[in-house]
Amino acid sequence: MHEFSLALEVINLAQYEAEKNKARTVSEITIEIGNISGVEPDAFESALGLLTEGSILEKASIKIVKTSCRGICIACETEFEMNQRMDTCPECGSFPSEISGGKEFRVVSLMIEE
């Protein structure tokens, strides 16, 4: 359950940003989670839900944006969504030549109230 330690990191980050900006509360936080990042969005969300009680994020609305990994087929250039590293082209079964995205785990925005 490394989602718990990631949730703690996110809360610490939000706390740090809020203090830096002399904010009293965080109203909204958006976190991006890629489908091959190794983070389970549902587990992360429930971990965060449990840990935010009494924290700076207690009243924040939490938005989770799921991103997915995309590959471009080396043979037919079809662009397709990948759920794991070894996925092959749905059209012809070749491996992708280019792989992008899906590994993100980051806070993309934080809305604070002063």
By the criterion CB under 5 A, which residues form the site for Zn ion? 73, 75-76, 78, 89, 91-92, 94
Calculated CA dihedral for residues 25, 31, 7, 111, nearest 10 degrees: -10
> Alpha-carbon distance 56 to 38, whole Å?
26
Q: Which is nearer to Zn ion, 25 or 78 (CB)?
A: 78
Least Å from the CB of residue 93 to Zn ion: 7
CB of 35 to Zn ion, least distance (A): 20
Residue 38 CA to residue 22 CA, distance in Å, equals: 34
C-beta closer to Zn ion: residue 10 or 73: 73
